[in-house]
């Protein structure tokens, strides 16, 4: 089955620690996206990548980093610089770009203890 996988589903982190969220797709899509979801705020774009080895900041990139070394993988690192990292994180991909349908993974819920 083609789709997007995110792991882990739940993640707990102590303050001051970096943590990496995994996102893998086997849809052969060019573009991938990371969103943060908080109650009542919808989805806010963190980073996106349209091709391998290239990525752009979204609206709330501070305190996050990404890499795109392989077409199918787009991991997100939440660094200790992120002031309020507790949230639901969603990864998505599209065949080419922003006018195509976005396919979403099941999400990772990050809680900072």
Partner 1 sequence: AQSVTQLGSHVSVSEGALVLLRCNYSSSVPPYLFWYVQYPNQGLQLLLKYTTGATLVKGINGFEAEFKKSETSFHLTKPSAHMSDAAEYFCAVSGEGYNKLIFGAGTRLAVHP
Give strand pairing partners of 108: 89
Closest to 63 in 3D by CA, of 48, 74, 78: 78
- Given the complex with partner 1, which of 85 and 105 has the nearer CB atom? 105
Give 13 or 109: the residue with its C-beta nearer to partner 1. Answer: 109
Query: Residue numbers of the site for partner 1 (CB under 8 A)?
Result: 4, 31, 33, 35, 40-45, 48, 50, 56, 58, 90, 92, 97-99, 101-102, 104-107, 109
Nearest to 92 by CA among 53, 41, 58: 58
User: Which residue, 59 or 62, is less far from partner 1 as judged by CB?
Assistant: 59
């Amino acid at each position: 089955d083609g789709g997007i996988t995110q792991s882990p589903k739940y993640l707990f982190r102590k303050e001051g620690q970096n943590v990496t969220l995994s996102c893998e797709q086997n849809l052969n899509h060019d573009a991938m996206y990371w969103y943060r979801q908080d109650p009542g705020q919808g989805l806010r774009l963190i980073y996106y990548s349209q091709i391998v080895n290239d990525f752009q900041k979204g609206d709330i990139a501070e305190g996050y980093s990404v890499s795109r070394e392989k077409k199918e993988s787009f991991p997100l690192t939440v660094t200790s610089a992120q002031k309020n990292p507790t949230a639901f994180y969603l990864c998505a991909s599209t065949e080419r770009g922003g006018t195509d349908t976005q396919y979403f993974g099941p999400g990772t819920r990050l809680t900072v203890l």
